[in-house]
A and B are shown apart, each in its own frame.
Chain A
Amino acid sequence: MKKKPNKRDYSPWMFLAPYIIFFTTFIIIPVAAAILLSFTYFNAIETPTFIGLSNYVGLITQDEVFMQKILPNTLTFALIVGPGGYILSFILAWALAQVPKRMRTVLALIIYSPSMTAGVAMAVVWTIIFSGDETGYLNSLLLTMGVLLEPIQWLQSPEYLMKIMIFVTLWGSMGVGFLAMLSGVLNINTEIYEAGYIDGINNRFQEIIYITIPSMKPQMLFGAVMAVVGTFQAGAIGVALSGANPTPQYAGQLMVNHLEDYGFIRYEMGYAAAISVVLLIVVYLFSKVAWRLFGEKD
């Protein structure tokens, strides 16, 4: 007698249950609460009072800092760091896949290592390098070389802060997206390439466009989503570098900083929640583009 295969199939919910429980409790419920809060005035002490869309209306029509500084800053930052980091991680993953294993391991480790120095340690290193007096490494180097006559306040100057933020974030952006792409490139079946050559692929560029990228779509999508999410969520960097929220003349102020400014410094939680909902919508729209490019067609 053959056993019925169905009897040994467990319910999908058995596999999903642990995830769903934690996901609902610690992510869904707080997010839903935050969305509700965005329609209220809430100062973190009194009970929230419902004020409808006022927070959103205020954000768009009255918050001059938001429209003039935060939004342009966030878009500039995201449009450079997002695609820049993404393309760089693909190129690096692709190049690394073509050197022998031992060398690849060492190089991948070094290239990945900046993203491990998250948070505090990173601020320690970069604030010393870009320190504003002559003891800062960059100032010291440029003074000795005679390029500068007096030290530049790198992190306090509106002119340089954003550039330094972009530089430091790109430096640390070879994270898990890069790792996933690396495993994606390495996992492409070599037979697909051979079939491609027979079908007339005759240069590297065609090979990348027609074989490499399509064969690793899931990893490319993961990398793209990580890049979008990561860049819009990277907010700590400007505040960590300049040591102040708001950053000097709002030069490095991103949406996340604005949110923290209102939420945890001014205690206007309802307004902060509205900012976070707007941020969510922006991130979502950008991710849709990534899905368009790399998502599977159902």
Chain B
Amino acid sequence: MSAFQGTRMNPSKFHRSQLKFLAFLIPLAIFMALPIVYIFFHAFKPIDELFAYPPRFFVDNPTLQNFVDLFTKTNDTGVPMSRFLFNSVVVTLIVVVLTVIISTMAGYALSKKNFKMKKAIFEINTLALMFVPAAVMIPRYLLIDELGLINTFLVHILPLLAMPIGLFLVKQFIDQIPDELLEAARLDGASDFQIFVRIIIPLVKPAIATIAILSFQLVWNSVESSSLYVNDEGLKTFSFYMSTLTSTVEGNNVAGQGLAAAASLIMFVPNLIIFIILQSQVMNTMAHSGIK
């Protein structure tokens, strides 16, 4: 046996040997965090600090005024801010839950079932992964119009439910589950549905959490459906409203800066919260306990 003790993955406690990793990770993390920290400080700056010269990174007299302005401001057509926020929250919740269910089911079939066209479907899915959304905007618009979805709440949801990247990732994870495990369950009398719920889902939790995070970001940050498919102001989403604040037309004025700073923070924080909730799943190491 060689003297090399090997790398200690997923250590349970701190040891001096980890210092070399930290020496590299911590400075990098601080550097990467700077713009994020800036988003936080910026949102609480009063108007004179937003335009101060020389520019300041930190805030001296934090104020909630930007948020108050943001929430009391109604846009030109009289729709209150809270309405956009409500729309975004509802749409995002529905899309994340349905995307996860739909992609995991499809991933199970594509990974563990044998049938004609299995290869072809996965190949087409992989190809679709590479198509630029901007390229299909026009045909997509015509199709959505044809389906009668223009100006409906559903138009925020339906086009986002099939996520090629999600299916791709889940299938990759399910491939790692040994077939023997499923056969054993089948011998014990488990039905397909039971196998899916009791074995597949718990074992691919890291993948599920990853696509939940991804789909959350896609929906929450998406402005496409609001700007292209919805004319009714009351049906638009928060991210769309936010993009109007930072657009060159409005963003240049003095009041707009404060609103945009506050809105950036509101856009960012839910992403952060979702990640914090789901990260333990992403980083969990459960898979082996089921497989061993």
Further pairs besides A22-B159, A33-B143, A202-B3: 20, Cβ < 8 Å: A15-B105, A16-B105, A26-B162, A27-B164, A29-B139, A44-B138, A98-B21, A99-B11, A100-B18, A105-B279, A111-B25, A126-B35, A144-B54, A180-B206, A189-B291, A197-B1, A222-B168, A222-B169, A229-B130, A229-B165
State which of B61-69, B81-89, B209-217 sits at the interface with chain A: B209-217
Q: How far is the CB of B153 from chain A (nearest CB, A)?
A: 16
Enumerate B113-165 residues with CB–CB distance to A below 8 Å.
113, 115, 118, 121, 124-140, 142-143, 147, 158-159, 161-162, 164-165
A235 to B67, CA, bound (A): 31
> A251: CB under 8 A from chain B?
no
Most B C-beta atoms less than 10 A away, residue of A119, A137, A264, A283: A119
Cβ-closest chain A residue relative to B110: A16
B250-292, CB under 8 A of A: which get 1 and which 0? 0000000000110010011001100110011011110110011
Q: Decide: A8 and B135 in contact? CB cutoff 8 A.
A: no
Contact partners of A99 in chain B: CB under 8 A: 11, 14, 18, 21-22, 25
Q: Bound state CA distance, A139 and B89, in angstroms?
A: 39
- Nearest B-chain residue to A230, judged by Cβ: B165
**Cβ A118 vs Cβ B221 within 8 A:** yes
Is B78 among interface residues, defined by CB-CB distance under 8 A?
A: no
Given the interface contacts A16-B110, A176-B214, does A111 sit within 8 Å of B134 by beta carbon? no
Which B residues have a C-beta under 8 Å from some C-beta of A? 1-14, 18, 21-22, 24-26, 28-30, 32-33, 35-36, 38-39, 42, 51, 53-55, 57, 101-103, 105-106, 108-110, 113, 115, 118, 121, 124-140, 142-143, 147, 158-159, 161-162, 164-165, 167-169, 172-173, 175-176, 186-187, 189-193, 196, 206-207, 210-211, 213-214, 217, 221, 223, 239, 242-243, 246, 248, 260-261, 264, 267-268, 271-272, 275-276, 279-280, 282-285, 287-288, 291-292
CB-CB under 8 A from B126, the residues of chain A are 225, 287
Closest residue of B by beta carbon distance from A236: B134
Interchain residue pairs A-B with the least CB separation, the first 3: A276-B135, A33-B139, A19-B106
Residues of A within 8 A of B140 (CB): 26, 30
Given contacts A107-B25, A180-B210, contact A30 B55 (CB under 8 A): no
